[in-house]
Amino acid sequence: MAAQPNPDNPAGSSDLVQGTLEMLILKTLALEAMHGYGVALRIEQISKGVFRVNAGSLLPALSRMERAGHVKTEWRATESNRRAKYYQLTAKGRRALAFETEQWQRQIAAIARILEA
């Protein structure tokens, strides 16, 4: 399950593999609480532009994660003094991140074995 190249984006960004967006969001929020735009920006920065998350994918994922109890929210002022919903990882979210990371590492190892065969 590798990221699919995006032929419409000459900069080389890729679409996220199905099911990985929530794991990347959890990892991003494990660093610090942030608003949705900050999450998308951090993922893009850490991936060096390979992954770009649009609001149409990000906001539904954050909403699902909030309903699942993986994140909690509060309204705060941003750096530019605008009001935004900030997302913070919960204990349940940390456990989900650990589980998803373990699963992802197992899948990567299995794919590597198949590619090397």
* Fold adopted by 11-116: Arc Repressor Mutant, subunit A (1.10.10)
Question: Where does the pLDDT of residue 60 fall: very low under 50, low under 70, confident under 90, or very high at 90 and above?
Answer: very high
Query: 76-85 burial, b for 16+ CB within 10 Å, e for fewer?
Result: eeeeeeeebe
User: What does the DSSP 8-state code read for residue 75?
Assistant: E
Give the tens place of pLDDT for each residue, 108-117.
999 999 999 8
Give the tens place of pLDDT for each residue, 22-48.
999 999 999 999 999 999 999 999 999
Question: Where does the pLDDT of residue 79 fall: very low under 50, low under 70, confident under 90, or very high at 90 and above?
Answer: confident
HEC profile of 12-36: CCEECCCCCHHHHHHHHHHHCCEEH
For the chain, which residues make up each domain, given as ranges?
11-116
Give the tens place of pLDDT for each residue, 85-108.
999 999 999 999 999 999 999 999
117 CB-contact burial (10 Å; exposed 0-12 / middle 13-18 / buried 19+) = exposed
pTM: 0.82
pLDDT of residue 83: 95
pLDDT of residue 15: 63
Q: Which helix (H) or strand (E) holds 11?
A: none
Residues 6+ apart with CB under 8 A from 81: none
